[in-house]
């Protein structure tokens, strides 16, 4: 018979203190029965000899001190997994949200997971073709990478990530592929956009969705990405699938974390976010990867909206320090009507070098990438200069670069939402642009590739 | 001394236990029957505040705490090289063999292999009088590194017994007699990580630590025994630079501490080091490397310990007389671990929530570097160089960790996001970075590279400085309004940037440049400058100079193989001829 405590002492925000407890463990899952018999769940944040601090997942509205009953469940928060998870939609706490039946779990997994032993990690090296030139050619994504999308309010990050989810393939391979989608605090409309897209393309069959909407309990968001990643780990490392995990929107997740931290009266770090934000985010992001000898992989695509497009805000900043690069959505390009408005220069994929080149994409890929970067950077400089001095004041070389930057944006960056370009196509568009530059400007390309591709 | 110590509170990685009278600060403990490792970081009457190196979920009040009367130590002996450890020196490769792909809690593993036999060759003889630090003999740890077996601290006396043969690290290799007391010595020893290992004397460093990176070796050199830091925002190339230095530096031993960084980068290191060859010896790099991997998702308290574990291992090899270089990537994550623990202890925070003792801890860490005379009667010298990456939030150098680090380190390689965006790597900003070792190295450069190298680099640096002010003017009034002499400076500075400073880590030849080759490249560029300047004065047109075919060759200089450096002679000749011809 489970013990029931009627000793709730205080309630503040999402936190509840229960007294006279015995044998409570740290991080244990808790059930609280409200006076109207509603049951909500929480977890132990701090435990002393006769006192436990509980964080409620679904808020404390309607909870009272007198009549609430608290039960400690003796286990941490778990997710029951089986291959029936595919094709299903759950809420942010892992309860079925569609009309489907309850999952009969094959096993139950701790949603916090264990850290992958760095020794058993395999280096991500398989190129994923997303069909988007600015990603495939300039910032290639590889299996097992974690590549966030940094966006801002009002920018089409949802469209871009849906397009990636729709088009992502590995060249020449037909492996089982799955998408795990976790929504945290996004609006119904945004979530609906993804769900419709998944249904329309049939992707839903191989997807699992965890949806916590803006009006769902905020604290629940803290477990949503963990549920999604636990599901992904099971699909990847038990069922040998290649899993793409989309976490949208990490900013809301961090705000929930801040809410709990503030309620605990912890000493805040930058902008009121807790000092352990880095560690906490790492415990999510680092669950992506590949393992030696295992077929499956987890590729992670967190999406976050930067407040005021500020990249130095703690959320994008700490994310950038953990993830392997970033795709930055540019407001300037978006205003120009260019889709996908990927800001090529500050975007980066750290793992590209092992995923591209001969036998993976094409031998000249790396050089073309570097050259396009350098030229576009010069072109943008020239553009800045022409804004100050007028175009007439530019030198001849600068004029060529300015022209290059314009064409680069118009024909290389810009593509349609349903255009799926192969890497060959992307590279040949790149060469078409480079052909307009004089040979001596192409310092980043090896002679052998110049001989083979330049003006050919 | 096993007393009844019980947990009274658990809050994340911080566990408080009562009944700990007699416990000492920084002693190790074992928490609960899950056997989690922890360290005492505060004592209040009989209560001990313990930072636990492993995840504490499922732990609760009432569970036992076992006091171990010893501080956190590392085990030292043959077999360290090529190993990969977590922050408290547990071998990750062996853990994976036994427990699979994920790291479970409470595992206990010896850091070194107790079974393996090493062939011990004595150097000291029976009857010798020996003291701490004296070398008893050696073991071929890898093909390159002879592991010197040293007399442990506090042992002194006459050798009664010493023998050649195959031993494991726990077996007796020698017997020392000190006043009727016989002390048996084995090949392994332990050392508490928070105490620096002793040495006799410290010197000012005077030999460069070459890295094969042109911008570093020529303009911002590091020394053997020196300290350096690489601050920069994310994406500026800290880790790539660190990896490059780890690969190509001419240290004998590398200790790489991946402290709170990415798992995939660790994997890159672990997978590429066994295959990469040391450019000087042709042996796999892993044979001279020890990796401490405590990635960002591994327990935060162990991250705090990892830098100490790493540096103690490094000091051990320094004591043998080797040149050791340690890379800590990133010290910011270590500082954040300090901050997290400090927050849980409810200490009064200093700047940005970091504890007030942040800067003294950092200084203590960097001060463990140095060029020293080791203990022992043979007066051998060893060096320990520290390079720390710093990851300031938003790349903001006013960050407390950066500021505290800059106060103690001598070399500053400031990474610049703008350069990184233009794919100029290594993205070390040449105007902001500095090295305070130029004077220390003057003699070495004159004797080993060239007499004129110092003048060349000062002149080159001057051009880069002038470039930045000229560019500013050009931006305001247009490039055409500059004199041709100024435009020549811009042209040459551009060449220094693109043909010398820019280096492609992924190009098979460009990734490493020897000091001599660095000198030759710079010399050609500066030769071009001086020739062009004279010709310009003599009336040669600026356009004509730009069109010279020989100039084109400068951009390909960096791809000349190390074994064909005589090609530089030809290019210098060609350049002189080209300018000579244009006279007619």
**At A199, is the secondary structure helix, strand, or coil?**
helix
Q: Which among B61, B302, B351 is the top mutation candidate for probing chain A, defined by the most A β-carbons within 10 Å of its own β-carbon?
A: B61
User: What's the pLDDT tens digit per position in B439-454?
Assistant: 999 999 999 999 999 9
* Cβ separation A114–B293 shorter than 8 A: no
Comparing CA positions, the residue from A447, A323, A383 lying closest to residue B235 is A323
CB of A396 less than 8 A from some CB of B? no
Q: Tell me, what's the pLDDT at A176?
A: 83
The SS3 of residue A333 is helix
A268 with A275: CB under 8 angstroms? yes
Identify from A43, A73, A74, A117 which residue to disrupt to test chain B contact, counting B C-beta atoms within 10 A and taking the largest count: A117
Touching check for A388 and chain B: CB below 8 Å?
yes
B107 and A CB contact within 8 Å: no
pLDDT attached to residue B584: 43
Tokens standing for residue A3: 């013990």
Residue numbers in A near B300 (CB within 8 A): 276, 279
What does the angle CA A78 – CA A80 – CA A83 come to, to the nearest 5 degrees? 145
Q: Is the predicted pLDDT of residue A291 greater than 60, yes or no?
A: yes
Q: A238: cis peptide before it, omega within 30°?
A: no
Closest CA to A115 of A245, A284, A262, A326: A284
Residues of B in contact with A283 (CB under 8 A): 296-297
Per-domain residue ranges for chain A?
Answer: 4-76, 79-355, 365-453
User: Which residues in chain A have Cβ-Cβ distances shorter than 8 Å to B393?
Assistant: 270, 312, 314, 317-318
Do A432 and A368 meet the contact criterion of CB atoms below 8 Å apart?
Answer: no
Do B10 and A145 lie within an 8 Å CB cutoff?
Answer: no
List the single best residue of B8, B13, B423 to mutate versus A (max A Cβ within 10 A): B423
Kindly tell me if the per-residue pLDDT of B196 is higher than 90: yes
Q: Is A123's Cβ below 8 Å from some Cβ in B?
A: yes
Give how far A36 is from chain B: nearest CA, Å: 30
- pLDDT of B458 reads 95
Can you tell me the distance from the alpha carbon of B58 to that of B407, in angstroms, rounded to the nearest whole number?
43
Cβ neighbours of A318 in B, within 8 Å: 393
B349 touches chain A (CB under 8 A): yes
- The pLDDT, as a whole number, for residue A177 is 86
Residue A220, CA distances (Å) to A24, A88, A132, B25 in order: 22, 19, 34, 39
- Dig out the tokens for B505 from the structure: 């880590």
For chain B, the C-alpha Rg in angstroms (whole number) is 27
Average pLDDT on B481-494 reads: 92
- The region of weakest confidence among A4-13, B221-230, B305-314 is A4-13
Rounded to a whole number, what is the distance in Å from the CA of A85 to chain B's nearest CA?
A: 23
Which residues of chain A make contact with B479, given a CB cutoff of 8 A?
395
pLDDT at A282 over 70: yes
pLDDT at A360 over 50: yes
Q: Which CATH number fits domain A365-453: 3.30.1330.120, 1.10.1740.10, 3.40.50.620, 1.10.1140.10?
A: 1.10.1140.10
**Range from A47-61, A383-397, B354-368 carrying the lowest mean pLDDT:** A383-397
- What lies within 8 Å, CB to CB, of B539 at 6+ separation is none
Q: How far is B253 from chain A (nearest CA, A)?
A: 21
Instruction: Write the pLDDT tens digit of every residue in B4-52.
Output: 789 999 988 899 999 988 889 889 999 998 889 899 989 998 999 998 8
CB pairs under 8 A between A and B: 214
Which helix (H) or strand (E) segment holds residue B406: the answer is helix B400-408
**May I ask the CATH architecture of the domain A4-76?**
Beta Barrel (2.40)
Contacting residues for B272 by C-beta, under 8 A, at least 6 apart = none
Pick the closest to residue B55 from A147, A279, A430 (CA basis).
A279
User: Which of B8, B293, B422 lies closest to A374 in CB terms?
Assistant: B422
Chain A positions in Cβ-Cβ contact with residue B10 (cut-off 8 Å): 25-26, 46-47
Give the residue from chain B lying closest to A28, CA to CA.
B58
The span from the CA of A356 to the CA of B506, in Å, is 12
Residue B563 CB contacts under 8 Å (≥ 6 apart), including other chains: none
Among the partner-chain residues A311, A322, A366, the one whose CB lies closest to the CB of B262 is A322
Residues facing residue A207 across a β-bridge: A179
Alpha carbon of B352: minimum distance to chain A alpha carbons (Å): 6
CATH number 3.40.50.12240 given to A79-355? yes
The answer to whether the Cα torsion of B287, B290, B296, B302 is positive or negative is positive
Where residue A178 falls (left for φ over 0; alpha for ψ -120 to 50; beta otherwise) is beta
As a whole-number percent, the residues of chain A with pLDDT over 90 amount to 60
Contact B151, B134 (CB under 8 A): yes
DSSP string, A416-441: -TT----HHHHHHHHHHHHTTS-GGG
Number of other CB atoms surrounding residue B375 within 10 Å: 18
A275 in contact with B, Cβ within 8 Å: yes
Q: Which residue of B has its CA nearest to A398?
A: B479
pLDDT digits (tens, 9 = 90+) for B515-526: 999 999 999 999
A residues 173-192 lying closer than 8 A (beta carbon) to B? none
CB atoms within 10 A of CB B154: 8
Q: Choose from B97, B293, B297, B509 for mutation: most chain A CBs within 10 A.
A: B297
Residues from chain B that touch A324, judged by Cβ atoms under 8 A, are 262, 264-265
Please answer whether residues B330 and B296 qualify as being in contact, where contact means their C-beta atoms are separated by less than 8 angstroms: no
The alpha carbon of residue A32 is apart from the nearest alpha carbon of chain B, in Å, by: 19
Residue B3 pLDDT grade (very low, low, confident, very high; cuts 50, 70, 90): low
Task: Select the residue of A48, A267, A320 nearest B234 (Cβ to Cβ).
Answer: A320
Residues 247-286 of B with CB under 8 A from A: 258, 260, 262-268, 270-271
Q: What is the pLDDT of residues A222-255, one digit of tens each?
A: 999 999 999 999 999 999 999 999 999 999 999 9
Q: What is the pLDDT of residue A455?
A: 86
> Within 10 Å of residue A343's Cβ, how many Cβ atoms?
19
Q: Using a CB–CB cutoff of 8 Å, tell me whether A367 touches chain B.
A: no
Chain B contacts of A294, Cβ < 8 Å? 101
Please say whether the beta carbons of B131 and B378 come within 8 A: no
Q: Which residues of B touch A117 (CB under 8 A)?
A: 92, 95-96, 101-103
Beta bridge partners of A309: none
CA atoms within 13 A on the CB side of A439: 10
Q: A122 to chain B: which residues are within 8 Å by CB? A: 267, 271
**Which residues does residue B231 pair with via DSSP β-bridges, in sequence order?**
B390
B329 in contact with A at a CB cutoff of 8 Å?
no
Which of A321, A358, A364, A398 should be substituted to probe chain B, the one whose Cβ sees the most B Cβ atoms within 10 Å?
A: A321
Q: Is B22 on the interface with A (CB under 8 A)?
A: no
Q: Chain A closest CA to B95's CA: distance in Å? A: 8
Residue A386, chain B, CB below 8 Å: the answer is no
Residue of B56, B103, B235 with shortest CB distance to A348: B235
Residue B445 dihedral angles phi and psi, to the nearest 5°: -65, -45
Unique residue bearing structure tokens 């020996």: B130
**Residue A444 with chain B: CB contacts under 8 Å:** 423
How much of chain B exceeds pLDDT 90, in percent? 62
Do the beta carbons of residue A433 and residue A404 sit within 8 Å?
Answer: yes
For residue A395, which residues of chain B lie inside 8 Å, CB to CB?
479-480
Mean pLDDT of A29-47: 91
Per DSSP, chain B holds a count of helices (H) and strands (E) of 16, 26
| Selection from A308-317, B97-106, B194-203, B274-283 with the highest mean pLDDT | B194-203
From the CA of A46, how many Å to the nearest CA of chain B? 5
- Check CB contact under 8 Å for B103 and A115: yes
Strand partners of residue B182: B177
Nearest residue, CB atoms, B101 vs list A117, A279, A388: A117
Which of A202 and A210 is assigned the larger pLDDT?
Answer: A210
What local confidence, expressed as pLDDT, does residue B582 receive?
Answer: 58
Give dist(CA A221, CA A211) in Å, integer. Answer: 9
Nearest to A26 among B58, B340, B476 (CB): B58
Q: Is the pLDDT of residue B1 over 50?
A: no
pLDDT at A1 over 70: no
B84–A121 C-beta distance less than 8 A: no
Query: How far B444 CA sits from the closest chain A CA (Å)?
Result: 34
The pLDDT, as a whole number, for residue B210 is: 93
Q: Do B61 and A49 touch (CB under 8 A)?
A: yes
Q: What is the pLDDT of residues A112-162, one digit of tens each?
A: 888 899 999 999 989 999 999 999 999 999 999 999 999 999 999 999 999
DSSP string, A382-412: HHHHHHHH-GGGS-HHHHHHHHHHHHIIIII
User: Which DSSP symbol is given to A307?
Assistant: G
What does the mean pLDDT of chain B come to?
90
């Amino acid at each position: 018979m489970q013990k029931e405590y009627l000793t709730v002492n205080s309630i503040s925000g999402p936190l509840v203190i229960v007294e006279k407890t015995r044998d409570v463990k740290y991080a244990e899952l808790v059930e609280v029965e409200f006076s109207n018999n509603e049951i909500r769940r929480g977890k132990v944040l701090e435990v002393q000899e006769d006192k436990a601090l509980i964080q409620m997942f679904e808020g404390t509205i309607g909870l009272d001190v007198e009549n609430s009953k608290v039960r400690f469940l003796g286990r941490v928060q778990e997710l029951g997994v089986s291959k029936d998870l595919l094709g299903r939609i759950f809420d942010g706490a892992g309860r079925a949200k569609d009309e489907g039946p309850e999952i009969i779990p094959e096993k139950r997994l701790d949603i916090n997971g264990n850290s992958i032993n760095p020794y058993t990690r395999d280096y991500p090296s398989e190129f994923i073709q997303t069909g988007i030139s600015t990603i495939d050619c300039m910032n290639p994504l590889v299996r097992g990478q974690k590549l966030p999308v940094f966006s801002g309010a009002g920018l089409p990050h949802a469209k871009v990530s849906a397009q990636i989810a729709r088009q992502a393939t590995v060249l020449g391979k037909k492996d089982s592929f799955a998408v795990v989608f976790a929504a945290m605090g996004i609006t119904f409309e945004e979530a609906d956009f993804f769900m419709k897209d998944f249904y329309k393309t049939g992707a839903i069959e191989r997807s699992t969705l965890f949806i916590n909407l803006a009006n769902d309990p905020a604290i629940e968001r803290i477990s949503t990405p963990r549920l999604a990643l636990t599901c992904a780990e099971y699909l990847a490392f038990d069922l040998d699938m290649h899993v793409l995990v989309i976490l949208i929107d990490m900013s809301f997740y961090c705000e929930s974390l801040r809410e709990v931290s503030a309620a605990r009266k912890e000493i805040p770090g930058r902008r009121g976010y807790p000092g352990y934000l880095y560690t906490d985010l790492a415990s999510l992001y680092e669950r992506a990867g590949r393992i030696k000898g295992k077929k499956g992989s987890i590729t992670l695509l967190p999406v976050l909206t930067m407040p005021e497009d500020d990249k130095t805000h703690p959320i994008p900043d700490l994310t950038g320090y953990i993830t392997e690069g970033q795709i930055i959505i540019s407001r300037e390009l978006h205003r120009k009507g260019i889709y996908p408005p990927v800001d090529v220069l500050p975007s980066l994929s750290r793992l590209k070098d092992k995923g591209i080149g001969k036998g993976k994409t094409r031998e000249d890929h790396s050089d073309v990438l570097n050259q396009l970067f350098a030229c576009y950077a010069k072109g943008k400089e020239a553009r800045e200069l022409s804004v100050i001095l007028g175009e007439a004041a530019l030198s001849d070389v600068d004029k060529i670069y300015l022209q290059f930057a314009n064409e680069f944006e118009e024909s290389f960056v810009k593509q349609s939402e349903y255009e799926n370009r192969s890497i060959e196509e992307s590279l040949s568009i790149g060469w078409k642009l480079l052909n307009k530059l004089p040979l001596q400007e192409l310092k980043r390309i090896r002679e052998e590739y110049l001989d083979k591709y330049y003006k050919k | 001394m096993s007393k009844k110590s019980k947990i009274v509170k658990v809050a994340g990685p911080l566990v408080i236990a009562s009944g700990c009278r007699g416990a000492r600060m920084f002693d190790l403990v074992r928490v609960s029957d899950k056997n989690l490792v922890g360290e005492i970081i505060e004592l209040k009457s009989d209560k001990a505040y313990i930072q636990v190196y492993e995840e504490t979920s499922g732990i609760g009040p009432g569970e036992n705490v076992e006091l171990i009367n010893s501080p956190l130590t590392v085990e030292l002996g043959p077999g360290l090289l090529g190993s990969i450890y977590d922050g408290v020196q547990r071998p990750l490769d062996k853990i994976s063999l036994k427990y699979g792909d994920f790291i479970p809690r409470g595992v206990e593993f010896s850091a070194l292999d107790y079974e393996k036999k090493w062939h011990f060759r004595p150097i000291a003889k029976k009857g010798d009088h020996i003291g701490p630090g004296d070398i008893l003999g050696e073991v071929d740890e890898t093909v390159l590194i002879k592991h010197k077996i040293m007399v442990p601290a506090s042992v002194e006396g006459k050798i009664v017994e010493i023998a050649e043969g195959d031993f494991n690290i726990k077996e007796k290799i020698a017997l020392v007699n000190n006043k009727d007391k016989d002390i048996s010595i084995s090949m392994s020893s332990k050392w508490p990580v928070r105490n620096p290992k002793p040495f006799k004397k410290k010197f000012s460093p005077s030999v460069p630590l070459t890295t094969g990176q042109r911008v570093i070796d020529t303009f911002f050199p590091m020394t053997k025994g020196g300290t350096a830091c690489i601050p920069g925002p994310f994406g500026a190339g800290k880790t790539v630079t660190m990896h490059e230095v780890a690969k190509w530096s001419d240290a004998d031993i590398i200790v790489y501490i991946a402290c709170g960084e990415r798992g995939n980068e660790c994997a890159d290191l672990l997978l590429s080091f066994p295959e990469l060859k040391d450019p000087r010896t042709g042996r796999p790099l892993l044979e001279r490397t020890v990796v401490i991997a405590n990635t960002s998702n591994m327990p935060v308290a162990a991250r705090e310990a990892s830098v100490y574990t790493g540096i103690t291992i490094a000091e051990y090899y320094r004591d043998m007389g080797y040149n050791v270089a340690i890379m800590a990537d990133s010290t910011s994550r270590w500082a954040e671990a300090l901050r997290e623990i400090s927050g849980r202890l409810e200490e009064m925070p200093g700047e940005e929530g970091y504890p007030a003792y942040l800067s003294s801890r950092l200084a203590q860490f960097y001060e463990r570097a140095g060029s020293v005379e080791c203990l022992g009667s043979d007066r051998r010298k060893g060096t320990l160089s520290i390079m720390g990456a710093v990851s300031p939030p938003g790349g903001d150098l006013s960050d407390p960790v950066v500021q505290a680090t800059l106060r103690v380190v001598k070399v500053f390689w400031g990474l610049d996001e703008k350069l990184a965006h233009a794919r100029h790597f290594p993205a070390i900003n040449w105007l902001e970075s500095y090295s305070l070792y130029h004077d220390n190295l003057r003699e070495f450069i004159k004797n080993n590279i060239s007499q004129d190298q110092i003048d060349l680099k000062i002149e080159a640096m001057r051009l880069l400085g002038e470039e930045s002010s000229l560019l500013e003017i050009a931006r305001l009034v247009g490039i055409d309004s500059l004199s041709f002499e100024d435009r020549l400076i811009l042209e040459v500075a551009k060449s220094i940037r693109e043909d010398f400073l820019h280096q492609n880590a992924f190009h098979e030849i460009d990734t490493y440049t020897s000091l001599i080759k660095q000198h030759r490249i710079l010399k050609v560029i500066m030769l071009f400058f001086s020739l062009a300047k004279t010709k310009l004065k003599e009336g040669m047109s600026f356009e004509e100079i730009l069109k010279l075919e020989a100039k084109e060759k400068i951009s390909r200089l960096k791809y000349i193989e190390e074994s064909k450096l005589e090609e530089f002679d030809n290019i210098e000749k060609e350049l002189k001829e080209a300018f000579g011809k244009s006279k007619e």
